[in-house]
Structure 1
């Protein structure tokens, strides 16, 4: 038996004309699946890359996007008994979150503590969990280190900035000039990416202990150049957003990632890695649980740049990376009627 729902659909690779919101069927959840009534979905660069058709190993169109969600359990499939109807859950869904209902594997559902701000909690699943993994595991940032973050006013870049500061690091980075004042209020030091002043400034300080670079391609070469050689240091590459942000044609990540990792063949104190968050990673659930606790205790505040409605998903694609403001983008699917 199927139910008719509203959902976003990407019908092919290309411009925003390939994004629409339609009525469509959803079947009852299969064995080991749970049907979730979606409250909020995240919206990020992965949505844009999927629409462009350049996200690694993505589904063939048509498909419903939405990389993460928070919602309430609606129906359990056969042999699914971990949650009951109405339970609040989070999921790194990868697809299907931008819809009124989503059928998700039970093993990927994570309980969400009641009482959290659900908009902020949704941003933790992908944006902040990505940042947490890089700061805490990839770079192991510690007190007294110097850290450089590209895109400090973006969702992940902002999270890296805050989490690195919580570890006691001094944070520098790049951001749009319109957001420099807001970055300075955090106690961090922003530069403008395009003029490259940040390269000479960091080298005059003796280099940094960690760089987090979501731009990729030529930017990874520049970021590598500001790593300190006096102590162990690391460049953490992720994303590969440079063509998307500069309006260039889509480019394959295979060569730049290979080149990035090949830097490790040098005999020196500089290291490189490429970070990709995965819901099967052994650190994924513990890291998200830790972030929920930080939010509950008020140790982090998660800025939300804009919240779109489900019907506004095409507009979200049009306006991505425009306008001022800092933080994560969300899609509100439904009001939480249980609170």
Structure 2
């Protein structure tokens, strides 16, 4: 089968950032029902960090090429693929392989990117914003007058949650690094410092939160559960990034997840509920959600902020800087100069 030279990121072994490098490789022509995409941007997130550490749930063994999502142009089709033409701009949730100049992806997972959209912002929507959108619109069904609490408001998903909840008419509270509090207040949200725990007493004083979104896991889920309103409060757990954020060894989320979900047994008594969210591209709502977000972006209804963009050659710096850049929003990797 013909192959094409490419450059890609490769995690050769789990652990230290020195194990993540850009290497020369080749890619075969796309197999049946696949499309080869020339990647312009890939998302960069805590998933990259956890995959490098070997702690992402059910991940591949090393060596592997990370890159959870992409925006790029169709390079060539395989036999049986006919929905896209070379040069079409597409988006895809790939899980792997997006940090490479070319990738072969199943045609069924490609979603057309409307002409005129900012490609950086379009890429941020694929995972960060669809994760937030699904939790706000489908899992929590946030509505006007509710008090929502978002952990990690300056992060990619946390920021998207705040914007979408506010768009639904909810009051937005949450935690963020103090260095970002000023900009968060300018959005009309109320930020607290996670580490001093003042947010717990503050939310009790407000009667509790109707919905809490918590990506941290472990003991944080216990604290978040404690600030729920007794009037049918809902805690949504996702991620489990507390250790990674604090530069500590990654921890398994199985037990905390079981503990979180077991609290549903108490729901008829305490009127509080818990749910756990995990995004997949096979979810029937994924495609329509992304297309809805494309529409909101095109209409100027959402402000998609980009915290940092790293060139693929600077992948090690991206890993070292993941939790450190000042500002709010998503982080991306610029893969190809050719769009």
> TM class by shorter-chain length?
over 0.9
Match of residue 300 from structure 1: 302
**1:31-70 equivalences in 2 (<5 Å):** 31-70=32-71
Match of residue 235 from structure 1: 235
Which one of the candidate residues 272, 276, 283 is aligned to 1:274? Answer: 276
Q: 1:99-139: CA deviations, max 9, x gaps? A: 10000000100011010000001000000000001111111
Q: Any unmatched runs of 5+ in structure 2? A: none
Q: Give the total of aligned pairs.
A: 336
Q: CA deviation at 1:246?
A: 1.6
Q: 1:168-200: CA deviations, max 9, x gaps? A: 000000000000000000000000001101001
- Counterparts of 2:168 and 2:55 in 1: how far apart (Å)? 34
- Counterparts of 1:55 and 1:190 in 2: how far apart (Å)? 29
**1:126-145 equivalences in 2 (<5 Å):** 126-145=127-146
- Counterparts of 2:338 and 2:302 in 1: how far apart (Å)? 23
2:186 paired with 1:152: no
Q: 1:275-331: CA deviations, max 9, x gaps? A: 000000011001000000000000011110111111111110111101311110001
- Counterparts of 2:337 and 2:7 in 1: how far apart (Å)? 15
Q: 1:238-258: CA deviations, max 9, x gaps? A: 010011112222211110000
**1:90-129 equivalences in 2 (<5 Å):** 90-129=91-130
Select between 265-274 and 193-202 the one with higher mean Cα deviation: 265-274
Match of residue 216 from structure 1: 217
SS at match of 2:207: coil
Match of residue 334 from structure 1: 336
Contact 2:91–2:111 under 8 Å retained in 1: yes
Match of residue 79 from structure 1: 80
Contact 2:307–2:325 under 8 Å retained in 1: no
- Counterparts of 2:338 and 2:135 in 1: how far apart (Å)? 32
Q: 1:146-172: CA deviations, max 9, x gaps? A: 000000000000000000000000000
Q: Any unmatched runs of 5+ in structure 1? A: none
SS at match of 1:285: helix
Q: CA deviation at 1:336?
A: 4.5
- Counterparts of 1:88 and 1:37 in 2: how far apart (Å)? 9
- Counterparts of 2:233 and 2:88 in 1: how far apart (Å)? 43
